[in-house]
Structure 1
């Protein structure tokens, strides 16, 4: 079968080339010019055919050009011309153009030809200038943003010595100059002990062929020279080949000032939240006391009348009955007042809307970290294209943030180094609901604690009041779902909750 290119003529291929080209005999006669050359030089095909190539050379260079052409004919080989020299070509109207010229010898039917390719210097210089401007803009942008690039191989070692990155990490200049071999990504910086496992986990997940290759992690480094502590943020992407990570590229930037500001805001938020919670508790307790104080006083008075009647030799059954009836009536009044108060506190119709549960999970992570619960690495397994759920966004966020906070506090208390929290979102086909799981790698819960974990005022925390999980379960039920603890979790504690899909 004939190759499809065999049907194409030389001229059609010649004209298809974007660069200007001439075909010249060994005597310097132009035999062919492609469309790009005719456009560049201003000739027609008939006008240029048969001309001596020196016609295209400015007169002051023609004698020198003839010597070079004669030399090339004696020893023809493919080579560029003009590297480091300024060459010019003359157009039909006498205009000189700066060009680079490439020469390629061709033999056809025992005749020698030279294929001349013109590259306009103006275009090259324009491209080079644009590249320089782009590189300078990128350099300035990186400097302004405090970005330092990194490039590691499959063994997580620097592909090339990156002095800027090593200095950024705090390596001494003398040590940098001695680094000639590949440098271990883990060996150079001194990672804060509480963050080393988080960083290692992030790198492990980024280079896992089963993941999306994305690296995004924040951690603290200790400068080995000054002892200064700084926060850095690393963002990058792993590249894979044949199911294995081959490179990890990205940037790091100093976020210390941002973290200091976040810590101040977190402390202010925590203080405000505590004061608000105490104020709410105080006001609620005052309202309850106000509502039941009078009934309790009346019950006390009726009880004294009943006791007095019982102490008499002859019991006045009418007085005793009236006193006991008064106790019952006041007790019922107290109960009714409490129900009315609770109804008032819960009044208002709950607003439910369609929610993307994956986005709610991501938002809950941001909120938890803004509250000071950032010392963990999230592992997300989110079902793509999961159907929207129907729920109250604020309440669903409250459930997730509560579970994340409990998980972080449990791992902190147990001093777990590899602080990971896995969040899975999937469709539970058995009940046709969205199913969210939150699993930590903490110490877990023993059987006795697990039995009471959702009871109000039951807590394992020294400063807790034991209402978080009770409220979370109530919120899950109010949104049409359920919240429960997985009793068979092999590692840490795993909580599940469900939400109904929007109709």
Structure 2
């Protein structure tokens, strides 16, 4: 195989053009490496003074030889080549010369070395390494071809006198844009890349460019070609007589990229100027508008054309005018830039707050300010927000309620004066930890339930007790936790603690009054039940008297009646039973009349209801009213005060008994008392009567204090009962029964 024709023609043209030896050597080696059989090719020139061969060109070099370089010599190799003309590389490796060591170090052994002088009067050596298994016979033919070409090259006509010495990468193209010859600069640009990659350095439409260049007989300039990250600019010069084109290129990567960046910057500047919400303007040194961006219409109500030639000072607020103009002028003259905040008048007459940054443009030689460029931003919303924050800060400082600021980790970052007074902290004392102010349960609730509710709903409220960290009485407070976002997106919280000491005192007093009223109502109830109570007590007392009299008579007949002692024992047993029964009645009445603080406890509703039934059983029997109990034994417990719950049930039962007696005088009737577990964790107690019932208007008013339908009633029973039940967390309401009458439902939360 012979070297590629284009590369061989290029080397031959460079040889006859007389370009530097290195360029010719590189072109020859590239042409040989274009052969599939060739692995490496090196050209070395003979150094007469040093008596060694050294590399020519910029291609790959062999490694240095072995031994002392000062004693290196290739004289033996030079003499052998002068006689034989060529040697196998295995023969060269056996010679005692400097190059043989270089070949051994490079592991090159298969190929030939030729005596070849590329420059007249200066011997040279061409080393060609071929792949293993390739015959060396054709290398002799290549050597003869090269010698022949060298011999005739000086006599050939120069095809392109300027191509060889052109410092810019150049090549000749035929009419179909096929490469004919390449100069040394283009070969250097290609490096070791194969000739097939040359198309990647040319414009993609190279064929059309060559046709247009020849058809129009004119040069085509400044055609860009992208080659990886490099940008080449080509010029195509026609040679119509020979139907070929000289293509020259230059490296223009930095220039083109800079121009593109400048064009991009200009487009970006224009885009920003036309679309930014800020006002970009140019002014004369005395403040007159030279130009303005379209944002002037949005911000000030003036189109840029209306502002040109107008003094900017004419739009300033009168209070800002004198100070701003002089200060801006001095700063621009001294420092070259100035930022100011001022009020400017809109076309409609209202004022806006502007923040303007100005920079002076100076004359190059004198340094005088010739123009001012300003960027103005509407900060009205920001100024108003800052003013609102300032006012809010004053409100927080003056607030009589303690206010605490917490960060995302729950650390206290601020206490207002009211909070420091409540916590007994001086201004100099450090901020306490949140755990010092609340109990463990309240702190856990604040961190978990409070934060979750504040972040989802914005606010969370709860009651707690605030404990001064240095000791002292805790303060009942109503907490309000608010979640906020800082300007940077950080989460923080504000905790407002309203002192509820007075409310707690009022509630305690109200509870005492309610207990007093409930006690009075119980006394009234017992007064109304006096007959039944007397019956409950007289009946066992009468039985006690009878059994005592009988026992005395039996004692007198002990001598003559053998069963007298047994009868006396039975009488004493009956006396004990009836006395205990009377004692239970009195104990039950005393418990019902008990006066004192509420005792909340878990209660069995069925047991409390049966006790209420026993208290009003005599009254029910006197009015021929039967109380039907539906009280299961497996009801869940409720949390309430036993006496107060019993009072509520007694009120409901007595009202039902009275309603039945009114609707059925002298006739038997019944009242149903039922308790059952409802849905959602509630327990329902219902009292149904067979009375005349109530209308809608009466049902709405029946729980109003002092409203009653009884001539002797006070109108406090149902009102007080509802208050008691609501104090247990429940509810009391009434509705008309299905067949008639009234149903009172007491709903209590299950404990």
Query: Which TM bucket (shorter chain)?
Result: 0.3 to 0.5
Query: What's the TM-score, normalizing by structure 2?
Result: 0.30
